[in-house]
A and B are shown apart, each in its own frame.
Chain A
Amino acid sequence: MAEAAPAIVLDKVNKWYGAMHVLRDITMNVDQKERVVVCGPSGSGKSTMIRCINRLEQHQQGRIVVDGTELTDDVRALDTIRREVGMVFQSFNLFPHLTILQNCTLAPISVRKMPKAEAEELAMDFLRKVKIPEQANKYPGQLSGGQQQRVAIARALCMKPKIMLFDEPTSALDPEMIKEVLDTMVSLAESGMTMVCVTHEMGFARMVADRVVFMDRGEIVESGTPTRMFEDPQTDRLKLFLSQILRGH
């Protein structure tokens, strides 16, 4: 693939829930190794947008191209994309009936057909990177929220994805656990991963984002570098949003 080809292309993407227009003409490119933070008030469509990228939601109009493959009803194209795109959810979504290690090895073994021993070695590698190798044989219910979310990150990384999507990864965490998850994400960003991250953590956005995208009522209102966005917001909607966010801090 050509070096310049963007990792993700969203071209005039539209989506409706019944009569509600939740995504309006979303057009956005994410370059290889680019780190994009998407923010906006709740109900702004940011989660829906990120979930369209690996088709947990279907868009109804426009084009989405991920890693050179267009998302259509073609199941094989979808499988290809999902293998290359990792996702981390707000509610962790670890599999409670499997151990931490099994959570991490399941997809490499069944989807990538990796031998079990190799998958376990890989999983332990990533569990060490997120700093919880000693929990490998426990069940998710025995871990704290922060630990579970780090496992979820490790689980996604075990598929060796080219792109990582984060859907409000720290919103369900107690304050003292947010840092450990953000630290993990920062070191992932430093390793050169392409990342799209829906989050309200402005400190994280400042530290790692190449670009911040602000969404409201289903459309992209403004985007730019974190410094420009936070210090010189152009639109009233972003100004209002920032003032509300900062008041909370």
Chain B
Amino acid sequence: MTPPASIAIAEAGPAPTRERPPASVYGPFAWVRANLFNGIFSTIVTLVLGVAIAWALYGFLKWGVANAIWSVPTTATGALDPTACRAAHGTGACWAAINDKWRFMLFGRFPYDQQWRAGICIALFIGLFYVSSDRRFWRKELAYIWAATLAVIFTLMWGGVFGLSYVPQDEWGGLPITLILATFGLALAFPLSVLVALGRRSTALPAVKTLCIVYVELIRGVPLIALLFMANVMFPLFMPVGLNPDKLLRAQVAIILFAAAYLAEVVRGGLQALPKGQAEAADALGLTYWQKTLKITLPQALRLVIPPLVNTFIGFFKDTSLVLTIGILDLLTASKTAMADPVWQGVSTEIYIVVAMVYVAFCYTMSSYSRSIERKLDRARNR
């Protein structure tokens, strides 16, 4: 006897629980349908954009790969013969220029036979960032590693000891300058900014609070370029004769002060966003101001502002290129100087592309690191 259909369903028991949604919403085809061809309008947009992207990519590959000049012959006198590049100008990229000029772009006017020293410095910086990014190394020893690495970097750059020839600071250039300005700029600006943010929120010390407000508003109200000019031109006028810190140091101080003002506002935003109850609970437990700040409010506030903090970090990494206005040869300036070589007249797009790729590599690493650390911190708290 077959029971009526409705009873059969009831007797089948509860529906088997599915561990994942039905297969039709999985896989690349489902993804494409759901995201690219989801209705007439979206299909049209997808097709139009697809054609535009393909067209642009085709043009770029034709210029950058198919028609590109990768190397040029050497003339009888030993110089490079750029005729092929000149002929291809406008239709094909001249990567031969990069091949010839990459060392000047990376190291600026650093003595050619000593450029391995600057190269090691770049590697040391990258190694330092890598070690610092790993939470397993977040211990006191990391401070010593930083001090030691930076000492080695400056020994290599300056020389004058251990049989290394002396290289005056105005011969430094290229990527090491960018890394020095950005690393010191942010490593020193960040702690300064935390102090300024705390000072600006202080209720017990009104004088400190006023000082912090004036500092932030004054520095923020001036363009970085103006600050760099001031550091370069005006500052030496105030210094006693014979005591004149070098140009790089003056630019570095300007960058630190500028970055700190911006970062301070980011940190203050984080402190502001914390529920008042956190500080009250710390007070009620009898923690002192610094115990409360270092163990309760600051760790939570900084975690909240990782995205805007990294945003500012990335911005300042690129803003170091403004030192070109006071004649310091950072990565971008050194590369622009490389373009001035009469042999490679007209080759600029290629050089800009390479410089941009270096900046993108550093900035993208920073942003993906910030994303990974946010994920890890979130997982730890399961929120």
Chain A interface residues (CB < 8 Å from chain B):
54, 56, 79, 82-83, 85-87, 89, 91, 93-97, 106-107, 110-111, 139, 141-142, 155-156, 159
Contact = CB atoms under 8 A, between A and B. Distances in A.
Contacts of A142: 382
A181 B283 CA distance: 23
Of all A-B residue pairs in the complex, the 4 with the closest CB atoms, nearest first, are: A93-B281, A93-B277, A107-B285, A82-B286
Interface string B300-338: 100100000000000000000000000000000000000
A110 B283 contact: no
B291 A141 contact: no
A119 to B, nearest CB: 13
Interface in B261-296: 275, 277-278, 280-288, 291, 295-296
Given A86-B284, A89-B281, A95-B278, 6 more contacts: A56-B280, A56-B283, A89-B277, A97-B381, A110-B287, A110-B295
Contacts of A83: 286
Contacts, number: 67
B77 to A, nearest CB: 68
A106 B382 contact: no
B contacts with A: majority SS: helix
Size category, B interface: 20 to 34
B299 interface: yes
B135 interface: no
B287 A107 contact: yes
A109 to B, nearest CB: 10
A89 B276 CA distance: 12
Contacts of B303: 97
B148 interface: no
A159 B285 contact: yes
Contacts of A159: 285-286
Contacts of B139: none
A134 to B, nearest CB: 16
B280 A96 contact: no
B136 interface: no
Contacts of A110: 287, 291, 295
B383 interface: yes
Nearest to A79: B286
B76 interface: no
A94 B277 CA distance: 9
B380 interface: yes
A163 B194 CA distance: 36
Given A95-B296, A142-B382, A89 B280 contact: yes
Contact of B285 (A82, A96, A139, A141): A82
B229 to A, nearest CB: 43
A54 B291 CA distance: 18
A30 to B, nearest CB: 17
Given A91-B277, A96-B300, A141 B382 contact: yes
Nearest to B281: A93
B284 A95 contact: no
Contacts of A139: 380-383
A111 B291 contact: yes
A95 B381 contact: no
Contacts of B277: 89, 91, 93
B297 to A, nearest CB: 10
Contacts of B382: 139, 141-142
